[in-house]
Amino acid sequence: MSTERRKLKKWLAGFILTPIVSCSLPPIVGGNLGAVMAADLLTNDVSIVEPTVSPLPATATAAVPALKAAASAAIESQTLELQSILEEAKGALDMSRLPQVEPAKAELQEAVEQLQAYIVPNSANGVAWSSFLGLEALSSEIAAEQPSLTKLVELETTMRQNYEGLEYPHFLKLRTSLDRYIRALKYGANPDRTLQVLQTRLDELVTKLDTPAEGSMTDRVAGIGLVLTYLHESQQSPEAVQRIRNQFNYPNLQVHASETALNRLVHRAVAEPTPVNECLLGTRLIGQACLAGDVSVDLREMLGGVSLCLNLNACMTSQNIGHNRGVKLHSTGVSPVSASKHITVTPNGISARPASVATDLQTHVYAIEHKLKIVRKIAAKKVVQQKPQADAIAESRLQNRIRNKYDQQVDQQIQEAGVRLSNFRQPRAELVRLGLTKPALALYSTDSSVHGNGVQAASFQLAADRPCGIPQPADAAVVVEAHQSAAVNALDILLSSRTIRSSDVDDLAMQFLGRVPEEVRLEAENEDWAITFANFRPVEIELDDNTVAFSLRFSSMSGANGDINGPSKITAKYQPVFEDGHLVLVRQGEVATDFASGGGGLRNTSLRSVLKKKFDSVFKERIETQDVDLLKSFPNAPRMNVRSLEIDDGWVQVGVH
């Protein structure tokens, strides 16, 4: 499509303000961008392979047609914007920005030497670390005239495991330097070819975007994400990278909780008896007071955090005897109590204002004791004279006591919550070891609900392209919404190019589960096998039409019966159903296996059969989910069950009642 035609199309879209059905030209080059780029960019033993995605199924959603039309218009507008950005990125390709091999190599060599000095190589601990990290093999690759990218990538993934110590600065510097060296070899070794291939890939993506987007848009997003990864790794067009990410930067994790749900979580009854022993206008009061009521939450509107008032609504009653020079005064007191403490919660901390307290104390002296009648009469007159002053003093003391105690109790809980929040803000060692980014969180509240949004995406990854369009169930206490990109992004970093061997599965289970299940132990003891995940989107998750499709993508597989080299894909589709109040995923049909072609022979056929059985055991016919027990964290919480689950257009929505 010519630039002039695209400009005209963009002008028409803005003028008509309705979706335009594009008339796309036939692709000049096939759509398998990654495979072509692998052949062009790399002459070594690592390839960049774009996923082969099956055509999307027709969507069936319960959304209102007007909303669908609006979404279609938004996608059309987004397409035109993306095509414009890609055209600008193509014109901004700059050879001088490509990662340079020699500086990256020198940086890596320095990182190796610093780590070797840090771990004390001649010590037992140093020898163990050196062997685990493969420092000797790494040094050999650095010294080699043509280093093996496959070996370097394997060494880099070894450094991204959940073992204590890998989050320390010296280890992180080595991992980061190795990653830069790998990118320099991939993109900087032949700069002319790199720019030529990048330009071709950008042209192909511009043409590919003319294909109408449907459903969860898995194929579309994969193509954009792949080119975005190329631009990021080759250090090209940082402005274009950011602008593309801005088109896919909607939160991909969302939680909505109603005020009613919060009250059911934090509500507690108050019943506090308190002894009375104080002096009031020369009279010593001895007795008992009791404060009875409950604490509730009242939400307020706030952007960037949660604003709420913790309200105490109670009634204070008292029964006292006053002693004054032989006279006993029997009295009662009653007052409604309203205490409120304003609390603000943001990702940076928790703050609170001093509590405000309102009361309306009413007292009544119903008996006066003394052996002389005249004394009783004098005392009665004195009570009437001093009652206004005594009530004012008593009410002031009552308010101060309630305010101080309420502040003390709530501030203590806020302090404890602040410590937990501070710990939550700190980098998680497990995430740092694995190279995962912590989700960026945002909070806001209305007068009836609390909302938390998260973006799970690295600086070169895509989040959601639009908010969840599934209507929220009106009677749900809590609604959780997750976009498929959240899991795909995390698994991309965790598994891309990683080789897993049968001998490793027990170690991996211990790293992530803290135990080795029996079935994993048996697998580790069986015949040897190895799988290498694809280096882009090794796990694909497609959420659409109330179906979940899981796909595993591999670049190679091997076993005792042979090897399968080349892109392979395993897919299983599940439909969620409720059985006896529990959520169960039921597999739809057989597990689809698309092994790489080539090889042939009985050994290869036997290996395919063995792998097919293993993947059938991984993707079971039924997967039963576990209920979340909130009682461990909230002892007063009501039982909460999943009552609704909707899946469409890349989103899953769970309604909890």
What confidence tens digit (pLDDT) does each residue in 601-625 have?
A: 555 677 788 788 888 888 989 988 7
b vs e for 309-320, b when ≥16 Cβ sit within 10 Å of the residue's Cβ? Answer: bbbbebebebeb
Those residues with Cβ within 8 angstroms of residue 276's Cβ, 6 or more apart along the chain or in another chain:
285, 286, 287, 288, 289, 318, 320
Mean pLDDT of 393-397: 94
Question: pLDDT at position 374, please?
Answer: 94
CB 576, CB 548: distance < 8 Å: yes
Q: Looking at the domain assignment, is residue 430 inside a domain?
A: no
Question: pLDDT at position 203, please?
Answer: 93
Considering the chain, what percentage of its residues have pLDDT values greater than 90?
Answer: 63
Same domain, 218 and 291: no
Question: pLDDT at position 60, please?
Answer: 34
Same domain, 334 and 217: no
Mean pLDDT of 129-136: 95
Q: Looking at the domain assignment, is residue 235 inside a domain?
A: yes
Same domain, 1 and 142: yes
pLDDT bracket for residue 75 (50, 70, 90) = confident
Asked if the model's pLDDT at residue 62 lies above 60, the reply is no
pLDDT one-digit tens code per residue, 316-351: 999 999 999 999 999 999 999 999 999 999 988 899
Mean pLDDT, rounded, of the chain:
84
Number of structural domains the chain divides into: 3
Same domain, 211 and 101: yes
Choice between 500 and 36, residue whose per-residue pLDDT is larger: 500
SS3 of 540, please? strand
Same domain, 83 and 208: yes
Q: What is the DSSP letter of 485?
A: H
Q: Looking at the domain assignment, is residue 273 inside a domain?
A: no
pLDDT bracket for residue 531 (50, 70, 90) = very high
Asked if the model's pLDDT at residue 561 lies above 70, the reply is yes
Q: Looking at the domain assignment, is residue 232 inside a domain?
A: yes
Q: Looking at the domain assignment, is residue 252 inside a domain?
A: no
H or E element, residue 618: helix 601-618
Same domain, 39 and 132: yes
Q: Looking at the domain assignment, is residue 320 inside a domain?
A: yes
Same domain, 314 and 374: yes
Task: State how far the alpha carbon of 191 is from the alpha carbons of 84, 95, 114, 141, 239, in Å.
Answer: 25, 6, 30, 21, 21
Question: pLDDT at position 66, please?
Answer: 56
Q: Looking at the domain assignment, is residue 570 inside a domain?
A: yes
Asked if the model's pLDDT at residue 581 lies above 90, the reply is no
Question: In terms of DSSP bridges, do strands 327-346 and 306-324 run parallel, antiparallel, or are they unpaired?
Answer: antiparallel
pLDDT one-digit tens code per residue, 478-504: 999 999 999 999 999 999 999 998 888
**596-602 contacts, C-beta under 8 A, 24 or more apart:** 596/564, 596/565, 596/566, 596/567, 596/568, 597/566, 598/565, 598/566, 599/562, 599/563, 599/564, 599/565, 601/562
Least confident of 132-146, 230-244, 424-438, 545-559: 424-438
Question: pLDDT at position 348, please?
Answer: 86
Question: pLDDT at position 338, please?
Answer: 96
Other beta carbons within 10 angstroms of residue 113's beta carbon come to 11
pLDDT bracket for residue 438 (50, 70, 90) = confident
Q: Looking at the domain assignment, is residue 522 inside a domain?
A: no
Residue 114's domain spans which residues?
A: 1-247
pLDDT one-digit tens code per residue, 373-393: 999 999 999 999 999 999 999
pLDDT bracket for residue 525 (50, 70, 90) = confident
Mean pLDDT of 142-168: 94
Same domain, 144 and 188: yes
Question: pLDDT at position 28, please?
Answer: 26
Choice between 217 and 62, residue whose per-residue pLDDT is larger: 217
For helices 65-91 and 191-208, give the axis angle rounded to 10 degrees.
160
Tokens of 362: 């009413």
Considering the chain, what percentage of its residues have pLDDT values greater than 70?
Answer: 85
Q: Distance between CA atoms of 32 and 201, rounded to whole angstroms?
A: 10
Q: What is the pTM of this model?
A: 0.80
Q: What is the DSSP letter of 370?
A: -
Asked if the model's pLDDT at residue 546 lies above 60, the reply is yes
Same domain, 476 and 620: yes
Same domain, 80 and 122: yes
